[in-house]
Amino acid sequence: MMEGLPPVVSWPPLQTLMRLTLALAVGLFVGLEREWRGKEAGLRTFGFAALLGGMGGLLGPNFALLSLALLGVLLCFLNWQSLRANGGAELTTSAALLVTGFTGVLCGLGHTVTPAAVGVTTAGLLAWKERMATFSHKITAEELRSAILLAILAFAIYPVLPAQPVDPWGLIEPRAAWVTVILIAAIGFVNYLLWKMFGTHGVEVTGFLGGLVNSTVTVAELANRVRETSGRLLDVAYRGVMLATAAMALRNAVLLGLLSFRALVDSAIPLVLILLSSTGLALVRSRVEATPGAEPPALPLKSPFSLPSALKFGLIFLALQVVGTVGQTLLGRWGFYAVSAVGGLVSSASAVASAASLCANGTISPTTAGVGAIIASLASAAINFILVARVSEQRSLTLRLGRALGVVMLLGLVGALVQTRLPEFLPNTPGSPGLIEPHQP
């Protein structure tokens, strides 16, 4: 007796149509860029490749592998034809076709967000070819080494560090400290790359992005330019210093949010006041008093990530963490505030990271950590004012910045006072101005 054919696989029509439609949409989206560039594999080829992967995903793992193998054969013919025509292989298009085939398989298996995100990313990498090439050619050997060193410290050294405290008092945790060091350095390095890309388009961008990298270097250079030009860049320096102060507050807020979100919530009011007042005073002044023909200064910022800078951040962070813990144990939160003020004079980023780390470990309350971060930020602003007063040698600029930074510091202190009083008026608000009480057995 002749056996019958195997039963037909029952696929829900609507779900099947949705999966294949998504695969086709992703393929067409990526292929649109290749078609626009006049490549041999364009809109239709990418659409077919995504559909092939989608049907393979629907039929099962074996058919998915077969569809990708067939796509590999297609790529061999594509590159062979390209080599015969112009002597060059279509490596970028081939890689994009392979990725598109895999996204089709994901769509066939029922995934939605992942293939869509991969498709958008692929199209972006293809479309930003010129910008990425220009950016990579501008990177110096020192900056490339800095990026490689950052990766080594993050992925090679971090896993081998002890996760538990190494001292009898439980103050030094190498792995936790190293995470904070890498975080601070990575933020500075990314901001440095942004400054290189956009920092020459005006004093506003220069001052703000320079402040994200290193506000002290930015302010010192602006003041030095004022002295060299005999005061012709007073307005430029004023706006740059105020925007560098705003950038410093924004960077510290990001550090707080990444290391201890509760500490950021309990310091939101003063941080917002510092950020808005610094930015507002800079913009108002720039509209009222503009210096005709004033060129934005070229800041001599170097890559903030290197082995010496990483070790410096680590030593400052550990010192502040140890001294802050001892200070709050002996003198209460006022001892911790004093340590935060001194730390802000040296490195506000390290002081803020130390406060957030102590809060995350349960040593201090979120409100105490937030106030300590505000004090460190205001101390950094005070140091910037002292730098301008000593380096610029311009009394008018010193007075203008003194008034402006005085307003910023006053608003920050008022905001901190309001933030600490909020729990009294809102009983459900988390956090209290004191330290976390030790657990009672």
User: Residue 438's pLDDT is what?
Assistant: 37
pLDDT exceeds cutoff 50 at 143 = yes
Q: Are residues 64 and 106 in contact, defined by beta-carbon separation less than 8 angstroms? A: no
User: Residue 116's pLDDT is what?
Assistant: 92
pLDDT exceeds cutoff 50 at 440 = no
Averaged pLDDT, 393-402: 82
User: Residue 25's pLDDT is what?
Assistant: 94
Averaged pLDDT, 336-360: 79
pLDDT exceeds cutoff 90 at 393 = no
* Cα–Cα distance, 267 to 265 (Å, whole number): 5
pLDDT exceeds cutoff 70 at 375 = yes
Report the 3 state secondary structure along the chain: CCCCCCCCCCCCHHHHHHHHHHHHHHHHHHHHHHHHCCCCCCHHHHHHHHHHHHHHHHHCHHHHHHHHHHHHHHHHHHHHHHHHHHCCCCHHHHHHHHHHHHHHHHHHCCCCHHHHHHHHHHHHHHHCHHHHHHHHHHCCHHHHHHHHHHHHHHHHHHHHCCCCCCCCCCCCCHHHHHHHHHHHHHHHHHHHHHHHHHCCCCHHHHHHHHHHHHHHHHHHHHHHHHHHCCCCCHHHHHHHHHHHHHHHHHHHHHHHHHHCHHHHHCCHHHHHHHHHHHHHHHHHHHHHCCCCCCCCCCCCCCCCCCHHHHHHHHHHHHHHHHHHHHHHHHHCHHHHHHHHHHHHHHCHHHHHHHHHHHHHCCCCCHHHHHHHHHHHHHHHHHHHHHHHHHHCCCHHHHHHHHHHHHHHHHHHHHHHHHHHHHHHHCCCCCCCCCCCCCCCC
Q: What is the amino acid identity at position 218?
A: T
> pLDDT: is 232 or 5 the higher one?
232
User: Residue 435's pLDDT is what?
Assistant: 40
Token pair belonging to 91: 């490596």
Contacts of 22 (CB under 8 A, 6+ apart): 54, 107, 112, 115, 116
> pLDDT: is 243 or 207 the higher one?
243
Q: Ranked by mean pLDDT, which of 110-124, 164-178, 236-250 comes out on top?
A: 110-124
Which of 371, 319, 361, 363 lies closest to 343, judged by CA? 319
pLDDT exceeds cutoff 50 at 370 = yes
Token pair belonging to 363: 């040593």
Query: How many CB atoms neighbour CB 137 within 10 A?
Result: 7
Q: What is the amino acid identity at position 175?
A: R
For the segment 42-101, what is each residue's pLDDT rounded down to a tens digit? 889 999 999 999 999 988 888 889 998 999 898 888 888 878 777 667 788 888 999 999
Token pair belonging to 45: 């080829």
pLDDT exceeds cutoff 70 at 203 = no
Q: Ranked by mean pLDDT, which of 77-81, 182-186, 237-241 comes out on top?
A: 77-81
Q: Ranked by mean pLDDT, which of 31-45, 96-110, 218-232, 314-328 comes out on top?
A: 96-110
User: Residue 23's pLDDT is what?
Assistant: 93
pLDDT exceeds cutoff 90 at 334 = no
Query: How many CB atoms neighbour CB 404 within 10 A?
Result: 22
Averaged pLDDT, 291-296: 48
Average pLDDT of every residue of the chain = 75
The rounded percent of the chain whose pLDDT value lies above 70 is 67
User: Residue 93's pLDDT is what?
Assistant: 86
* Cα–Cα distance, 26 to 385 (Å, whole number): 54
Is the backbone of residue 432 left (phi > 0), alpha (psi -120 to 50) or beta? beta
Distances (CA, A) of 86 to 41, 77, 90: 15, 14, 10
User: Residue 439's pLDDT is what?
Assistant: 36
> pLDDT: is 80 or 321 the higher one?
80
Is the backbone of residue 212 left (phi > 0), alpha (psi -120 to 50) or beta? alpha
For the segment 251-293, what is each residue's pLDDT rounded down to a tens digit? 888 888 888 888 888 888 888 888 888 888 887 754 434 444 4
Token pair belonging to 8: 């037909």
Q: What is the amino acid identity at position 373?
A: A
pLDDT exceeds cutoff 70 at 379 = yes
Q: Are residues 206 and 194 in contact, defined by beta-carbon separation less than 8 angstroms? A: no
Residue in the structure block whose two tokens are 């004012």: 385
